[in-house]
């Protein structure tokens, strides 16, 4: 799971397995496989890096 920050400053933990797309329009919008859309402060590249880091830690155990 990864932590992202909504535009209002709320930290949200999401399951990276349910991320379908990440767009910058110019705000970063994550679309989940459930259809839910979340607008966050992090850039698209930061989300990619968070997912990579989480998976690296997960498989290192």
What is the predicted pLDDT for the residue at 61? 64
Do the Cβ atoms of 28 and 49 come closer than 8 Å?
no
Structure-token pair, residue 38: 């979340």
pLDDT in tens, 20-54: 999 999 999 999 999 999 999 999 999 999 999 99
Residue ranges of alpha helices (H) inside the chain are: 44-60
Give the long-range contacts of residues 32-39, CB within 8 A, separation 24 or more. 38/4, 38/6, 38/12, 38/14, 39/6, 39/7
Given the structure tokens 């498989």, which residue do they identify?
A: 59
Residue 17 gets which letter from DSSP?
G
Confidence of residue 58 (pLDDT cuts 50, 70, 90): confident
What is the predicted pLDDT for the residue at 60? 84
What is the predicted pLDDT for the residue at 33? 97
pLDDT in tens, 4-21: 999 999 999 999 999 999
């Amino acid at each position: 799971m990864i932590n992202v920050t909504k535009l209002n400053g709320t930290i949200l933990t999401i399951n990276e397995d349910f991320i379908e797309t990440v767009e910058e329009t110019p705000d970063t919008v994550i679309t989940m496989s459930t259809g839910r859309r979340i607008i966050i402060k992090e850039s698209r590249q930061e989300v990619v890096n968070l997912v990579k880091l989480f998976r690296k830690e997960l498989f290192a155990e």
